[in-house]
Amino acid sequence: MRRPGHFSNNRTRTLVVTSVLTLLVTATGAAGAAPVSDALVGDPAALVDPMIGTGSGGATVGQVDTSPGASAPFGMLSFSPDTPSRPDGGGYNYDDNSTLGLSLTHMSGPGCSAFGDFPILPTVGAIGANPAATTEPFDHAHEHASPGSYDVQLNPGTSNAIKTSVAATQRTGLAQFTYPGADAANLLFKMGDAQSGNMAADIEVIGDNQITGTETAGQFCGSPGTYPVHFVATFDRPFSSYGTWHTAPVGDNVFTTPTGQLDWGYHYINAGGSTPTIAPTTTADGQSAISWQQSTATANTWIETTPPALTQGDSYEASVTLQGSGQVYLNFYNGQQDVAGKAVTLTSTPVTVTVDTTIPTGSIRSPQFQVRTPADGAVNLVASAVSIRKQGVVTTPGSAKTAVQGSGQQRVPATTNGKQAPATQVAPKGTEAKGGQSRTQVAGTSGLQSGAWVTFDARDRQQVGMKVALSYVSTADAWTNLARESHGWEVSATARQTREQWNQLLSRIRIGGGTHAQQVEFYTALYHALLEPSIFSDANGDYLGFDDKVHRTPPGHAQYANFSGWDIYRSEVPLLAMLAPDQTSDMMTSLLNDQSQGGWLPKWGFANDYTDVMNGDAADPILAEAYTFGARGFDLRAALAAMVKGATVIPTQSQLGQGFYAERPQLDSYQQLGYVPNTAQSSLSPVPNGASETLEYASADFAIAQVAKDLGDTATYWKFLARSQNWTNVFNVDAGYVEPRDADGQFPAGDPTTTGMGSFGQSGFQEGNAAQYTWMIPQNIAGLVSALGGPAAANSRLDTFFQYLQAGPDAPYEWAGNEPAFATPWLYDYTGAPAKTQAIVHHLLDTVYAATPGGEPGNDDLGSMSSWFIWSSLGMYPVTPGAPALALGAPIFPHVEMDLAGGHHVTISAPGASTSAFVRGLAVNGRKSTAAWLSTSALSHQTTLAFSLGATPDPSWGTSAADVPPSYPAGPLAFPPGRKPVILVPTGDNLLGNTPTGQLSWQGPVENGVGSVPGTVATATTPEGASAVHWTQTNADANTWIWTDPSPQLPGGQSYQASITLQGKGDVYLNFWSGQQDLASMTVTLTSTPQTLTLQGEVPSTTDTHLQIRTADTGPVDLYASAASIRLLVPQS
């Protein structure tokens, strides 16, 4: 996932090039090191390495985004370090060498900024001038992570070394800090610095041993919703002094031009709405202003102006005075993320709104000052007094020795977006440090980038113990959570208890054999899969609902949040339902609670908010497959009713969830036409995404049919089974690809493998393209195979598709790091070539996964990527969401024992798996089977799957028509009229002219958001003797480039092919700026062997075009570029 409006090409991992035919000869079982004993693992937690996923997945995957800190299974609290670069959700970058603190909330690999609330940082000595910016160094030699605990030494090897040990329960954390013998041993509590930005923050120092705080944060992936979160902390001894800090504007307004004379632009995320009028005006009191009038504006529409250069690393306050009508909020895009203020409903009375942010260091885009709409509606506003001012830090010290005795003062924290945060309360009696009796608030502050510190005298006693707890309801509930879950002050005891909880879950799959690295990868993947969704209710059952009211779960149950729907429905939820049916049942009840309170099932629920993140209607397959795979403790009839409502009812404006959320955008068109026209961008897609939306809706319709079937509702079953075949309405029979259609039903005219690429996906598809999404017909793969010309033709297409395994969104090949491609390696089971599935899956397990910090092929996406590894390692995969079937491959472990939902037990026996990748036979409970699939009903009671494996395929196993996994048609296939694509081929001379590549006018290097950076660009000759440009740079950040321009510029209204040959060192791609957008090739990791990259695109009008070589990841560059070419494309005759 990428945030709306500011997309980057940084998710595609280095290309893995392969040949299916070669793999059929060379595939083996375990790669690399020798296998370990086949004896079952006794302590799986010992094999979990939480550092896996904390690094970069290479080239353009970017960060995997997991966190290494202390968490309990499905825990609300994640006590984990954040590092300065703060990767999305996980907050920790393995390549960083300092920390800004251990925060209490994280999310595992989401792909958008999330959580990172309440960083806590131990320091020694005087408090600096800007405590919020304070960091402390560490190294990996003095760091250890394990399920439930985390240890690190800050300032290692110095006299100021601080040993930090933390452990977690589900809602609480326990820490011990061992300081050097100093009189100023500090803990900094940083407020208003959550990853995705804060709307409000409040902290209080209570007595001489307690801290409480409340923040409002959220707006995940640009959505308008926010959440309140509260923390409490208490210490095992009194602190000697304390203090607070906050920020305040200290500089002049960076805008020197009056508001009405600034250059204002108009933007939107979702197409639609009326034509806006934006014009200079004057307020009633004569101030220069800008007027924005629009009778209908869609949610996430905005006007913006670009401020003069802002200093990276500095903090700024943005403000504007607004009046008129409409609901809007102030948004400050800081160059990396949107930081939004409180939404306000405008009146004729002027209101001034503010928002604070820090301009990040490193590679950033241009900051923007924006006034945005949180929901659909009319806008008629006047904005004046636009201001951005630099902020300074104000510190206020205090002494705990002067604390006043008495009862605790209560006050109400700030509110945002209509959400009233409950009153802050002091701790109950009995929670004070021994000898400390004061429970009075002695200091407090509020605001973004604010905070407090406490100082201990560590000269005689070096250890300081701290307990913390969270609640999304109230401070009082946080104290309740602490009292119920945290017992004693021994970190190691809490760590042992949580580790045992992890072992109880991890041991539900016990493996034997394989290599040590494979065992580490397996149990780390299972660990990641069991982190999310996370508990959202308090120990007393209280939780904040989607209606912003407090609700309570029945005793023994919990409310869960953070459902990465588009990601987890494919493989994560079936795994959870199979291994943790009780928790998964509560998760499904949580989704139904969300629907009951908010009106609709969430497609990507974050905290207690809807988000419009990713297309489709993911809750439907989530509910269906949870039930299918063993989670039966939720109301299935209520689930069906909620699913049918979301799939059939078109909400009015007043019925939208939380004022903006539609469960199925363009549902009216889908129900009327049988497909979603490719006329709008929705759900974060940077391009119109009608084809992928149609496929997702059809898959969700199949899930509804399955639930109806389970309930015996025949009419609903047949209705939605028929609707699940709507994939045919976007299948172009003349092209052989799924393609988008416009409102008139027309397919695009161009080549589906090239046309419309380059914007982090192809027009019609979210995060992908026609070649990738064509395979995503899980409910009727037999129908797809038939549409492609039969098994032989489908096999051939798959062979071509798997030439590259990490091609990214803009190339017509496999992208293993993206969820729509999860099932594609398993489709050979459906074409009578299961050996190819076995070979490809094993190759992926060996090449795009590893026991290293960057050892995943993409964002972990709340366990999704990890769950694929688990299923594939076991030799099976749930291809069709909601269906009771598993496609089969070859296990990588010789011995597996699984304890599943309902008390069932499954034994997998696969002798030789460590050296053999191909299935030559299978016996299910002693009965031979040649089927390349397994019914979930077979996973019951005491089931044994006995695989016979070999180093070469058996042409008789799984290859007959009777052996393929089931598909679910609803009658004969019917397709719309096709459109034969116009294939463009290059022709004519090189439009860069006859000048050799090395003598072209190359410029750069420049870095996005930074400008010119040190590096060398020189004329050279390749080792093969070709004229080349030689680019060297010691360390280039991602999105650094050199470029040359065609001269004269290219005529507009025509399409072109650009190509270049590269060799040397670096992770790079070819980029062509068409005058309106960047068009990008696949990313490659260069070697001494020359590689030629090509891309195609249209130049809309004659303007500035550039041929660029760009970096996809941070690292050294030493490359030769030769044979640069731009040629006109013409229709193939």
Please give the pLDDT value at position 28: 63
Residue 1115, strand partner residues: 1036
Question: For 489-513, what is the mean pLDDT?
Answer: 98
Phi, psi of 581 (to 5 degrees): -65, -35
* pLDDT band (50, 70, 90) for residue 1001: very high
What are the pLDDT digits (tens) for 635-693? 999 999 999 999 999 999 899 999 899 999 999 999 999 999 999 888 888 889 999 99
Hey, what long-range contacts does 100-105 have (CB within 8 A, 24 or more apart)? 100/134, 100/135, 100/190, 101/188, 101/190, 102/69, 102/150, 102/164, 102/166, 102/175, 104/77, 104/78, 104/79, 104/173, 104/231, 104/468, 104/470, 105/76, 105/77, 105/78, 105/194, 105/229, 105/470
Written as six digits, the tokens of 308 are 């003069």
Close Cβ partners of 888 (under 8 Å, ≥ 6 residues apart): 829, 834, 875, 876, 919, 922, 931, 932, 933, 934, 958
Residue with the two structure tokens 């939820």 = 573
Please give the pLDDT value at position 32: 56
* pLDDT band (50, 70, 90) for residue 759: confident
Q: How far from 1125 is each of 811, 888, 987, 1079, 1092, CA to CA, in Å?
A: 19, 46, 11, 15, 11
Q: At what angle do helices 690-711 and 636-648 cross, to 10 degrees?
A: 150
Close Cβ partners of 510 (under 8 Å, ≥ 6 residues apart): 40, 41, 44, 896, 897, 898
pLDDT(424) > 60: no
What are the pLDDT digits (tens) for 602-624? 999 999 999 999 999 999 999 99
| Superfamily of domain covering 532-963 | GH92 mannosidase domain (3.30.2080.10)
CATH 3.30.465.10 for domain 31-240+404-439+457-486+493-503, yes or no, is no
* pLDDT band (50, 70, 90) for residue 834: very high
Element (H, E) at 692: helix 690-711
What are the pLDDT digits (tens) for 806-826? 988 889 999 999 999 999 999
pLDDT(66) > 70: yes
* HSE-CB for 868 with a 13 A CA cutoff: 31
Contact present, 707 and 640 (Cβ < 8 Å): yes
Contact present, 233 and 166 (Cβ < 8 Å): no
**CA 915 to chain centroid:** 35
Determine what percent of the chain is predicted with pLDDT higher than 70.
93
d(CA 27, CA 662): 47
Parallel/antiparallel/unpaired status of strands 1091-1099 and 1078-1085: unpaired
Please give the pLDDT value at position 597: 98
| Helix ranges, 724-817 (H) | 770-773, 781-787, 791-801
pLDDT(1007) > 50: yes
pLDDT(388) > 70: yes
Q: How far from 714 is each of 220, 717, 720, 791, 970, CA to CA, in Å?
A: 39, 5, 10, 32, 13
Please give the pLDDT value at position 601: 99
Written as six digits, the tokens of 795 are 């096999």
* pLDDT band (50, 70, 90) for residue 1063: very high
pLDDT(470) > 80: yes
pLDDT(284) > 70: yes
* pLDDT band (50, 70, 90) for residue 140: very high
Which one is predicted more confidently, 74 or 1035? 74
Please give the pLDDT value at position 552: 98
Residue with the two structure tokens 């076991």 = 874
Question: For 995-1018, what is the mean pLDDT?
Answer: 89
pLDDT(270) > 50: yes
Please give the pLDDT value at position 15: 54
pLDDT(417) > 50: no
Please give the pLDDT value at position 30: 53
Please give the pLDDT value at position 902: 83
Close Cβ partners of 1012 (under 8 Å, ≥ 6 residues apart): 1004, 1005, 1006
- Which CATH code fits 984-1131? 2.60.120.260
250-392 and 984-1131 agree in CATH topology: yes
Which one is predicted more confidently, 599 or 760? 599
Please give the pLDDT value at position 224: 86
Per-domain boundaries in the chain: 31-240+404-439+457-486+493-503, 250-392, 532-963, 984-1131
Cβ neighbours around 261 below 10 Å, total: 11
Q: Comparing 204-213, 397-406, 862-871, 1009-1018, which segment has the lowest mean pLDDT?
A: 397-406
Please give the pLDDT value at position 431: 38
pLDDT(407) > 80: no
Please give the pLDDT value at position 799: 97
pLDDT(709) > 60: yes
Please give the pLDDT value at position 3: 35
Q: 682-710 burial, b for 16+ CB within 10 Å, e for fewer?
A: bbbbbbbbbbbbbbbbbbbbbbbbbbbbb
- How many residues does the structure list for the chain? 1133
- At 693, which amino acid appears? E
Phi-psi region of 1107 (alpha: psi -120 to 50; beta: other; left: phi over 0): beta
Contact present, 576 and 605 (Cβ < 8 Å): no
What are the pLDDT digits (tens) for 193-233? 898 878 889 999 999 999 999 999 998 998 889 999 999 99
pLDDT(170) > 80: yes
Cβ neighbours around 361 below 10 Å, total: 14
Average pLDDT, the chain: 91
Element (H, E) at 1012: strand 1011-1012
Nearest CA to 505 out of 520, 519, 526 is that of 526
pLDDT(403) > 50: no
Please give the pLDDT value at position 25: 66
Question: For 926-931, what is the mean pLDDT?
Answer: 97
Please give the pLDDT value at position 421: 34
DSSP 263-328: --EEEESS--SPPPEEEEEE-TTS-EEEEEEEEEE-SSEEEEEPPSP--TT-EEEEEEEEEEESEE
Burial class (CB in 10 A: 0-12, 13-18, 19+), 539: buried
What are the pLDDT digits (tens) for 14-53? 455 567 767 776 666 555 578 888 999 999 999 999 999 9
Nearest CA to 1116 out of 1039, 1028, 1034 is that of 1034
CA dihedral 565, 571, 575, 580 (to 10 degrees): 0
Cis peptide before 996 (omega within 30 of 0): no
| Superfamily of domain covering 250-392 | Galactose-binding domain-like (2.60.120.260)
